[in-house]
Structure 1
Amino acid sequence: MFKSFVVVITCLFSLFSVAQDYSSLWQGHFSYNNIKDVVRGNDKLYAASENAVFSLDLVTQELTELSTVNGLSGESISTIYYSDLYELLLIGYENGLIEIAFDNNDNILTVVDIIDKVTIPPTDKRINHFNVFDNLVYIATNYGISVYDLERLEFGDTYFIGSGGTQVKVSQTAIFGGFIYAACLGGNGLKKAQITNSNLIDYQNWGQVVSGDFLAVESVGDKLYAIRTNRRLYNVANDVLTERFLYADAPLDMRSVGSNLLVTTKNDAFVYDESFNLITQASVNPSFSTLFNVATIDSETIYVGTKDFGILKAAFTNPNSFEEIHPEGPLLNTPFSIKAIANNLWVTFGEYDIYYNPYPNGGPHRRGFSHLKEEKWINVPYSEVLGARSLNAISVNLFNNDQVFISSFFSGLLEVNEEEPTILYDQTNSGLESLVLPSNPNYVDIRVGPTVFDGNGLLWITTSRVDNALKSFNPSSNQWRSYSFSSIISDPLNEELGFGDIAIGSDNTKWIGSYNHGVIGVKDSGSNFLLKHLSGEEVNMPTEYVTALAMDKRNQLWIGTFRGLRVLYNTSNFFTDDNVRAEEIVILEDGIAKELLFQQIVTDIEVDGANNKWIGTAGSGLFYFSSDGQKTIFHFTKDNAPLPSNTINDVSLDESNGIVYVATSKGLVSFRSGSSGTQENLQGAYAYPNPVRPGFNIVEEKVKIKDISENVNIKITDIEGNLVAEAQSRTNQRYSGYNLEIDGGTAYWNGKNLANNIVASGVYLVMLSDLDTYETKVLKIMVVR
């Protein structure tokens, strides 16, 4: 009864929003390896990773995920708290956002009061700790303490408790002996105030117990403990601090669970009784080489949140014999590059920055890679990738899908066979070359970027900052060839920092997106080597920095740049026409002509079976355009889809099942688009569901006609030959409002006839005709209403 009341009352407050559940079409592929917080409640264990949560049912051992697909924001989580009384989970974020997840309820309530506080700097809104007393939550933040009423679901006062009422960082609060204690950083010490005081908003009602920097304060039984940044834990009695222990590492978390006190450092988790007698201690060991972040207990079991292995579970009696607990997922929530092929997805975590610098944030990075195979994740850590760093682009051998090549923007090219890294190609065992620094000729740095397989099984490889920027490698014969770009790039070390993408046309021309030279076309016919680039305002390129390329089914080259989108409509005369130029796409928006994706940073372009375009951007989310770009079918952002970020790093399509994988800067998700690749003939075409039973919503879910060819005419008639519906490739395309629509290798029929009425029960004939080969096939569909 109470939960229903809570949901109703939230409608009264404008500062709440109810997040949507996207689980029918979207799926999250988040990593749950790095645990930020863990709490116990309602016979469950709740664990927060960077931007998603999972729960473990302590009775059934069932794991349940809670992510952007269920309505979470995808922002960086800092702390969580579970209320047994109100049966809800509070989730606090680095940016000040709070979300509330109710048990047995699909709604996620989003509380934006702190985010919207203009008087608080954005960098000071972090939620550090939730402390519940009666029906009030005392929220420790980087600006002070805010109070939230769990019964009314509304904010109360905010306490700025620094000298003169200034904002100070409060790391944790505790209620003890009729007082609320606040552990403060920035030299603001340990403060306290009477919990019953109705005017705690007045900083003068807060007294200082002691000065200094405090990481935590917690009560257990009749004791109060506090931890300073000097790694010392103190017992606090009558405002006097008595040192009890000096830790080898800085404590990261202190909390009470029942009558126990828990302290976690990066290498140890300590469990004490209320008198500070050590009951058990779990420590990092070689079986799980990681760092601890946080811990909690249930009965005589300890659960440790780690950086690399999710939750590690151990018994008090054997605290260093761990069981690993977390949902399946990739290694990290920072996918850099992805590649999908026939129920498989490969993921790397990079990275290099927009200037092709492999050293951002402490790089070149040691991160390994992940492989989703038949809905199971196989993670390969850095320790197994033969020392390859800054892994980026991925290419799967078209003739041997168990052979994969992964580029390293520092170490060369990694070959993987049946999940196992086998060879790292570098300057010693291949045609790859290191860049050469005049000041340090012994320095080795092999910057391999985008790669692609051609129809003959050759792997084409781009290498930055060297003369021979393009390589080809034949995995069957182990033969390498090199192609010099010196005719257009005179100083590769300084002029060309990196390449954004590579695509191959139907005439075997290689198209390469560069940092400083626009689009580079390469054609090698054996006796004749052609090299030309397209850049500059005179050929209508908005910038020389080309970030993405895709050759569509009409041999048109779609060009993504750092400042918008262009199309090279006639690629066949690129090397012979001196006046070749790229064209923008002009659309009408509210009757006004505008350039499509004007000034947007395009990060990736993918072409699906219907020749429609999926285009990722840096900051504006994911677009799905019709084949000519004139119609926006979808525009997905954080506001209308479970994208954890509007910065799209990469997109990849699995045409075997119509799944679109989307790598964002904060995690990986997928969208079941329903589109599929076309087949060479109609031999395998089929319709489903068949028969169409009364419980099937034919209008919304539609009958699918799968595995059709690229250029096909479809007629549906009743058993007497009366035409019911008709469609043709490139005309009746999906999302156009027809009763029968074609999307690549799949056609969709909504069960309606030419009069726009749902058909009666009966047998219907589907007549397929390939317009290129004149092949035909007839299918039968039974409709039961």
Structure 2
Amino acid sequence: MIKKIALFLIFISPIFSFAQDYSAEWQGYFSYYDIKDVSQGNNKIYAAAENAIFSYDIETNEIETITTVNGLSGETISKIHYSEAYELLIVGYENGLIEIVFDDMDVDVLTIVDILEKPTIPPTDKFINHFNEHDGLVYIATEYGISVYDLDRLEFGDTYYIGSQGSQIRVKQTVVYNDFIYAACLDGNGVKRAPLSSNNLVDYEEWERIATGNFLVIEKNNDILYAGKFDRSFLQFEADDSLTGLVVYDDQQVDLRSVNNYLIVTTENDVFVYDGNFTQIAQVSTSADLDTEFTSATIDDEYLYIGTADLGLIKTLILNPVTFEVILPNGPLSNSAFSIKASANNLWVTYGDYTLAYNPFPLRSRGFSHLKKEEWKNVPFDSVLGARNLNIISVNPFVENHVFISSFQDGLLEVENDVPIILLDETNSGIESFVNPNNPNSRSIRQSASNFDRNGVLWTMTGRADRPLKSYDPSTNQWQGYAFSEILGDPFNDEWGYSELVIDNNGTKWIGGYFKGIIGYNENNADVKTAAIFSEEQNNMPSSIVTALAVDNSNQIWIGTDKGLRVLYNTSSFFTDPNSQVSSVIILEEGVAEELLFQQFITDIEVDGANNKWISVLDSGLFYFSSDGQETIYHFTKDNSPLPTNNVIDLSIDSSNGTVYVATDKGLVSFKAGGSSALENLSDAFVYPNPVRPTFNMDQDKVKIKDISENVNIKITDIEGNLVAEAETRTNSRYKGYNLEIDGGTAFWNGRNLSNNTVASGVYLVMLSDLDTFETKVLKIMVIR
């Protein structure tokens, strides 16, 4: 009954904000190793990772995830609480945001911004520390005091500033005990309490201090009140409010809760379970097998569930905690990706780092992740042969699961079937360490940009080396080095590093630099082999710092910098014309000519099968432009998509299905763009979903006609031959017909006819005609209304 009342209030109240579910077109790939908090209820254990949540059904062992795709904000979670009375999960964030996730309702996530947007509270003090539910109210402990949320009305009540003279103080946890509400406070404010029956709890004078010091936790169990202090002591309140010391733990207390008449104390390295008489019945400690830190813990009837900082959720028997089961949803090692690379139904992710100015320090010692057919294989750092700062991934086009991963310190890691087999460096390959004239004994192999050419030869770039460009043929094990003598007189000082390496149809290697802008190299060029475009005045570059490069289907070079976008349209004269010019893309914005992405920091550019451009921009999300940049097809941000942040770091497209993978500094998502590459013929063309059922939203999700050829005419008719929709491709462009559009190797139908009405139930024919070869193919699709 409570649940139905709450749902009714949601629909009649205009002040709530509901998050959209994006699961039809998007998918999330979040890491669940770092557990911030746990809760239990409804026969489930809930675990909150950095910015995603999963539930574990204790009866069926099923795991379900809740991410930004389902409507979560993507911000950093600090605390969760499951209300069994209201059948909802309350999620608190470090920035003060609160979200409510409903069980089994059409409305999934309710967003509450009252604390987040409260101007009188400093942003750093909005951290949600704890939720305490009592009689339909949730007392929210924060860095400024206590706020009250009414679960019946789904609205905020009063806020209690309980410091001296009504000042804001840090409250870590609250509990209701013997008709008083108690608050554990920091900064010497001790433990304060106020009568629950008071109608004036907003008055700081109602709050009596009954203990001094810095308190982190407070909880009741078996009608006894317990509290833990910053000095690691754990205490019991007596009837006269005096304190009796029980134990001093070795480490800081991070969590305290009472579940099923058991008291659970979690410290950084131990979890203790006590019965109603404070008799210890279980202890779990970190060890070589549990090399982590504990963050929280809860129990069900038989098992103890512990949240850890880097192992996920672990499960063990309460009375015999000797064996441990790791409960972890399918996901990558970390949310902080540096680089991603997609191939057919595969995705590789690295987590290394270097600065914009190519400084590798501080070094990141992290492994890599591989997504294959929806399953993640995570390779930890202790398996990557000591390779630090893993960054750019190159996939061998001729050997499945054979990749090379650059290390911006230690060389080049070769991986076969997810097993690192060798770390290539200056001792066992043609790779050079950097040259430091001031310290000849120093060693640092700053491998970054790399790519395979169409012949299966790997090309790599090494920063501050005599011959920065290297080629390696895995089939012959042959290395070759190439100096940039035309543009680099001093390899150590004239260029600090290289961001990208792409190869065009003529075999020219295009490389992004820091000082030299865009560098072109062609070893077969009879005259000048190397040239660069970097000058703002001479070459129209907005900056010499190139952050992204892409070769499009017309052999034009799209250039991203830290200060905007440029295109090199004429690549043929690059080596012969010392004044080669790059061009900005000029668009009309409300009738005014403007430069596309003016002064924006571009992090990546990818070209899809229709020659359209996906461009990620720091702080501004993700853009999808037409082939010439004149039309903005999509602009995804945190506000209108599952992007957990607008800081998009890297992109990669699986050309076999058009899926666009998007790496941010808070997690990885993918978008089913459908712009796959066109095929040579129509033999593999198919349509899906088929049949189209009533639950499928054709207007929003669209019926897809996949694996079509490059130049094709498509007609959709009903079974009697009446034309319903039609479109025809134009080479290297995205073409929209009437209710039917073609994007590379995929066409999209919104389920409407020439009168713009939704089609009725029935069988429809999809007639494909290749305009070059005159090949034809007819597909059938069933629509059920």
Structure 2 equivalent of residue 575 of structure 1? 575
Asked if structure 1 preserves the Cα contact closer than 8 Å seen for 2:348 and 2:393, the reply is yes
- Report the equivalent of 1:671: 671
Partner of 2:221: 220
* Whole-angstrom distance in 2 between the partners of 1:98 and 1:691: 40
* 2:76 equivalent in structure 1: 76
Superposed CA deviations along residues 315-338 of structure 1, whole A, max 9, x for unmatched, are 123213101112111111112111
How far has the Cα of 1:740 moved from its partner?
3.6
Letter in 2 for 1:619: D
Instruction: Tell me the residue number matched to 1:67.
Output: 67
TM-superposed deviation, 1:698: 6.6
Match status 1:681 vs 2:681: yes
Partner of 1:482: 481
Identity, % of aligned positions: 57
d(CA) in 2 for partners of 1:693 and 1:73?
Answer: 31
Stretch deviating more after TM superposition (664-673 or 534-543)? 534-543
Contact residue 627 and residue 733 of structure 2 kept, 8 A: no
Question: 1-side partners of 2:397 and 2:163: how far apart?
Answer: 64
CA distance in 2, matches of 1:108, 1:697: 21
Alignment partner of 1:16 is 2:21? no
Q: Secondary structure at the match of 1:100?
A: strand
Corresponding residue for residue 120 of structure 2 = 119
Equivalent residue for 2:322?
320
* 2:625–2:631 CA contact under 8 A, matched in 1: yes
Letter in 1 for 2:42: N
Residue of structure 2 equivalent to 1:501? 500
> 1:380 Cα deviation (Å)?
0.6
Higher mean displacement: 11-20 or 476-485: 11-20
> Equivalents in 2 of 1:698, 1:130: separation in Å?
42
Q: Letter of the 1:29 partner, please give it.
A: Y
- Whichever residue aligns with residue 264 of structure 2, its letter is L
Cα deviation digits, residues 629-662 of structure 1 (max 9, x gap): 1111111111111111111011111121221111
Q: Distance in 2 between matches of 1:258 and 1:756?
A: 60
Distance 1:27 1:548 in 2: 25
Letter in 2 for 1:524: E
Matched residue, 1:265: 267
Q: 1:756 to 1:276 in 2, by over 3 A?
A: closer
Matches within 5 A, 1:326-341: 326-341=328-343
Secondary structure of the corresponding residue to residue 493 of structure 1: coil
* 1:71-220 equivalence runs, <5 A: 71-105=71-105, 106-220=107-221
Q: Give 1:731 deviation, angstroms.
A: 7.0
Q: Is the 8 A contact 2:729 2:735 kept in 1?
A: no
- Residue in 2 aligned with 1:28? 28
| 1:233 is the counterpart of 2:223 | no
Q: Quick check: 2:725–2:738 contact (8 Å CA) kept in 1?
A: no
| Deviation of 1:489 (Å) | 3.2
Give yes or no for contact 1:760–1:783 (8 Å, CA) kept in 2: yes
Q: Output the CA distance in 2 between the equivalents of 1:83 and 1:718.
A: 52
1:318 partner SS: coil
Partner-residue secondary structure (3-state), 2:47: strand
2:348 to 339, 343, 346: 346
Residue 398 of structure 1 corresponds to which residue in structure 2?
A: 397
Moved more, 173-182 or 303-312: 173-182
**Distance (whole Å) between structure 2 residues aligned to residue 698 and residue 200 of structure 1:** 54
**What residue number does 1:5 align with?**
5
Query: CA separation of 1:734/1:568 partners in 2, compared to 1, >3 Å: closer, same or farther?
Result: closer
Q: Which amino acid aligns with 2:293?
A: L
1:376 matched to 2:375? The reply is: yes
Q: Is 1:752–1:759's contact at 8 Å kept on the other side of the alignment?
A: no
| Kept after mapping to 2: 8 A contact 1:254/1:264 | yes
Residues of 2 paired with 1:70 and 1:698: CA distance? 20
Given that 2:183 and 2:218 are in contact with CA atoms closer than 8 Å, whether structure 1 keeps it comes out as yes
CA distance in 2, matches of 1:16, 1:633: 30
Shift of 1:713: 4.2
Per-residue deviation, 1:16: 2.5
8 A contact 2:33–2:311 mirrored in 1: yes
- In the alignment, is residue 365 of structure 1 matched against residue 364 of structure 2? yes
Task: Please identify, of 155-164 and 756-765, the stretch whose mean Cα deviation from structure 2 is larger.
Answer: 756-765
Aligned-partner SS, 2:3:
helix
Superposition map of 1:253-652 within 5 A: 253-359=255-361, 363-438=362-437, 440-525=439-524, 530-538=529-537, 539-652=539-652
Q: Shift in Å at residue 412 of structure 1?
A: 1.2
CA distance 1:555–1:315, shift in 2 (3 Å): same
Show the counterpart of 2:47.
Answer: 47
CA contact (8 A) 2:736 2:742 kept: no
* SS at 2:6 equivalent: helix
User: Are the structure 2 counterparts of residues 515 and 222 from structure 1 closer, same or farther at C-alpha, using a change threshold of 3 Å?
Assistant: same
Q: What CA RMSD, in Å, does the superposition of the two structures yield over aligned residues?
A: 2.5
How far 1:686 moved relative to its partner? 4.2
- The Cα shift of 1:286 comes to 3.1
| Map 1:636-785 → 2, pairs under 5 A | 636-687=636-687, 704-714=704-714, 726-730=726-730, 734=734, 736=736, 738-749=738-749, 764=765, 766-771=767-772, 774=773, 776-781=775-780
Deviation at 1:760, TM superposition (A): 9.9
Question: What one-letter code is carried by the residue in structure 1 that aligns with 2:448?
Answer: G
Structure 1 residue 41 displacement after superposition: 0.9
How much does 1:493 deviate? Answer: 3.3
SS state at 1:319 partner: coil
Deviation at 1:25, TM superposition (A): 0.9
Describe the shift of the 1:344–1:279 C-alpha distance in structure 2 as closer, same or farther (beyond 3 A): same
Q: Distance in 2 between matches of 1:103 and 1:763?
A: 39
- Following TM superposition, by how much is the alpha carbon of 1:682 offset from its aligned partner in structure 2, in angstroms? 3.7
Offset, 1:441:
3.5
In structure 2, how many angstroms separate the alpha carbons of the residues matched to 1:135 and 1:720? 61
User: In structure 2, how many angstroms separate the alpha carbons of the residues matched to 1:547 and 1:146?
Assistant: 45
| One-letter code aligned to 2:179 | G
Q: Deviations over 1:380-405 (max 9, x none)?
A: 11111111111111111001022111
> How many residues matched?
780
Q: Is the 1:537–1:543 contact (alpha carbons within 8 Å) kept by the matching residues of 2?
A: yes
Q: Distance in 1 between matches of 2:415 and 2:337?
A: 19
Q: CA deviation at 1:184?
A: 1.6
Distance 1:605 1:33, change over 3 A: same
Q: In the aligned structure 2, how far is the partner of 1:112 from the partner of 1:705? A: 42
Q: CA deviation at 1:214?
A: 1.6
> Counterpart of 1:321 in 2: which secondary structure?
coil
Q: Give the stretch that moved more between structures: 324-333 or 696-705.
A: 696-705
What do the CA deviations read for 1:112-151 (whole angstroms, capped 9, x no partner)? 0111111111111100011112122111111111111111
Aligned residue identity for 2:453 = D
Other structure's SS at 1:7 match: helix
Shift of 1:721: 8.7
Unpaired runs of 5+ in structure 2? none
Cα distance between partner residues in 2 of 1:544 and 1:537? 8
- Matches of 1:203 and 1:351, distance apart in 2: 49
1:64-122 per-residue CA deviation (whole Å, 9 max, x = no partner) reads 11110110000000000111111111100000000011111242111101111111111
Tell me, in whole angstroms, the C-alpha distance in 2 between the residues paired with 1:12 and 1:369: 48
Q: Measured at CA, do residues 68 and 578 of structure 1 come closer, stay the same or move farther in structure 2, by a change above 3 Å?
A: same
1:687/1:272 Cα in 2 relative to 1: closer, same or farther (>3 Å)? Answer: closer
Distance 1:759 1:294 in 2: 55
| Partners of 1:732 and 1:740 within 8 A in 2 | no
Deviates further, 263-272 or 484-493: 484-493
Structure 1 Cα separation of the partners of residues 150 and 386 of structure 2: 52
- For residues 556 and 199 of structure 1, what CA distance do their matches in structure 2 show? 70
Rounded to whole Å, the distance in 2 between the matches of 1:223 and 1:557 is 71
Question: Which SS does the other structure have where 1:164 is aligned?
Answer: helix
CA distance in 2, matches of 1:696, 1:193: 54
Residue type at the aligned position of 1:646: N
Between the aligned partners of 2:580 and 2:615, the Cα distance in structure 1 is 24
Deviation readout 1:166-221 (Å, 9 max, x if unpaired) = 22211111222232222222222222222222222222222222322221111112
Q: Which amino acid aligns with 1:152?
A: R
Matches of 1:54 and 1:352, distance apart in 2: 32
Stretch moving more, 69-78 or 516-525:
516-525
* SS of corresponding position for 1:3: helix
CA change 1:565–1:527 in 2 (3 A) is closer
**Which amino acid in the other structure matches residue 451 of structure 1?**
S
- Structure 2 CA distance, aligned partners of 1:693 and 1:132? 43
Helix, strand or coil at the partner of 2:121: coil
